[in-house]
Amino acid sequence: SLIYYSRQGIQEDADHIIKLATVEGLTAHANSVRVRKGSD
C-alpha cells in the first residue's frame, strides 16, 4: 500500500514512524523516513 504525506505531515510524525519501524525491525522503512525528514 502507499500512504501520502505532505512535507509538513512527515516532519510532524517522522519520529513516531521511525520509532515504530525500528521496534518492528523495519530498518529500511525507518531509514526511508529519516531521509525524507532530513535527519542523519
> How far is Cα 24 from Cα 7, in angstroms, rounded to an integer?
24
User: What predicted TM-score, i.e. pTM, was given to this entire model?
Assistant: 0.80
Average of per-residue pLDDT across 27-34 = 96
Q: Count up the domains in the chain and report the number.
A: 1
**Segments forming the whole domain that contains residue 21:** 7-37
Q: What's the pLDDT band for 2 if we cut at 50, 70, 90?
A: confident
Contact (Cβ atoms closer than 8 angstroms) between residue 33 and residue 17: yes
Q: Is residue 2 part of a domain?
A: no
Q: What's the pLDDT band for 3 if we cut at 50, 70, 90?
A: confident
DSSP class of residue 3 equals: -
Q: Is residue 1 part of a domain?
A: no
